[in-house]
Amino acid sequence: MRKRLPKFSDKSKICIICEGKEEYQYLLRLKALNVWHDQYSISLVDAGGSGNISAIYQDKYQTGAFKIVFIFCDTEKVPYEQYEGIKRRINEFHGVGNAADEVIIFGNPCTLQIIIKHWTDTKIITPEKTSNARLIEKHTGVKNYDGRERQIESIMKHITLDNYRKMSVRVKGLSQDDSVIGNSNFGKLIELLGRDNYDWIDEINNKIG
């Protein structure tokens, strides 16, 4: 009997390192909804906290298993010390002064800035989950939100293809200046992963060396 050759995917492999459970579960939900072009194979990693992001990024990048590696994280509060630290370490790793701007996808002050856009254009001004609990309950029915895993999973069930499209419009209208509360460059990720060609991957890799 002739041996079957192993099947190799010709999809472009992309890794997205998520700061924590909220980011991970959100992208996992979007992945399940098949909102991105099917030529991309997306791998998600839960970093388990902002302090682990840089090391995981370097590890994933150096394996050579992915055509590009992104980071998805919060800016948190001014003066954004942890966030700026991540940017600095990514720039130092690549030896390019603005490499982080190419690969970091942020929500200022938090990822909820993006998630809430599925239902409303309300601006999130603080990363404190308890301060945003009423807004979460209003649009998802999840009460007393404080970031517990089961709560996150419940919120994700309310994300649909229809409100994804609405979120996309709202997020693409945000400024990509990460120093201003209310901003996010998540629209950039949506746009890139929606393309039917992957020339943009080479363009970014050329920029970051």
Predicted local confidence at residue 209, as pLDDT: 87
- Residue 191 in tokens: 């746009």
If you ran DSSP here, which 8-state letter would residue 184 be given?
B
Q: Is residue 5 part of a domain?
A: no
Q: Is residue 153 part of a domain?
A: yes
31 closest CA partner among 43, 13, 45, 17 = 43
Q: Is residue 115 part of a domain?
A: yes
Q: Is residue 104 part of a domain?
A: yes
Question: Scanning the structure block, which residue is given the tokens 């079957």?
Answer: 4
Predicted local confidence at residue 195, as pLDDT: 96
Range of the domain at 82: 12-208
Extract the residue ranges of the chain whose pLDDT is less than 50: 1-8
Instruction: Assign 35 to helix, strand or coil.
Output: coil
Residues with Cβ within 8 Å of residue 84, at least 6 apart in sequence? none
- Rg, C-alpha atoms of the chain: 17
Q: Is residue 79 part of a domain?
A: yes
Q: Give dist(CA 119, CA 194) in Å, integer.
A: 21
Q: Is residue 6 part of a domain?
A: no
Predicted local confidence at residue 9, as pLDDT: 57
Q: Is residue 202 part of a domain?
A: yes
**How many folded domains does the chain comprise?**
1
Q: Edge-to-edge, what's the strand order for the sheet holding 12-18? A: 40-46, 12-18, 68-74, 104-107
Question: 41, 9 in Cβ contact below 8 A?
Answer: yes
Q: Is residue 4 part of a domain?
A: no
Q: What is the pTM of this model?
A: 0.94
177, burial (CB in 10 Å: exposed 0-12, middle 13-18, buried 19+): exposed
